[in-house]
Structure 1
Amino acid sequence: MTIQEYEEKLLQLIDDGIDTATDDELFAGGYLRGHISLAAAECELENESQLSAMKEKVGQSIADAKSELSPSDYGFICNYWNQLK
């Protein structure tokens, strides 16, 4: 699977859950969409093709944004990311 295919799969999983998602899941999904797309774009710029590198970039991006989130939101987003990947 390519990084682009993986990005599309993750975004589709988020979209597929919209109808049944809780408010927290909608927030986390919307938040993660940006981090996922950014990580995919960075991988493309760096000619990186390993999915593990993309996953690491998303995780690092979320960790870097920790100060922007409440502790409960940060925990929920991390859990949601772990479920998606």
Structure 2
Amino acid sequence: MTIQEYEEKLLLLIDDGIDTATDDELFAGGYLRGHISLAAADCELENEAQLSAMKEKVEQSIADTKSELSPSDYVLVCQMWRKISA
């Protein structure tokens, strides 16, 4: 699977849950979309093809912006990331 295919898969997982998602899940999914797309773009710029590198970039990006979120929102985002990236 390529980075682009993985990005599309992750975004589709988020989108597929919109109809039944709670407000918290909608927030976490929307928040993650930007981190996922940014990580995929970074990988493309760096000619990085390893999915593990993209996952690490998303996780680092989430960690870097932890201070932007309340503790409970941070937990929601991390839970959503673990759910869709598994």
- After TM superposition, the score normalised by the length of structure 2 is 0.98
Distance (Å, rounded) in 1 between the aligned partners of 2:67 and 2:10: 24
Distance (Å, rounded) in 1 between the aligned partners of 2:82 and 2:60: 13
Match of 1:19 in 2: 19
What is the one-letter code of the residue matched to 2:31? Y
Alignment: residue pair count: 85
- After TM superposition, the score normalised by the length of structure 1 is 0.99
Q: Deviations over 1:30-67 (max 9, x none)?
A: 00000000000000000000000000000000000000
Match of 1:82 in 2: 82
Identity in percent: 84
Match of 2:50 in 1: 50
The CA RMSD measured in Å over matched residues stands at 0.3
Mind listing any 5+ residue stretches in structure 1 that lack a counterpart? none
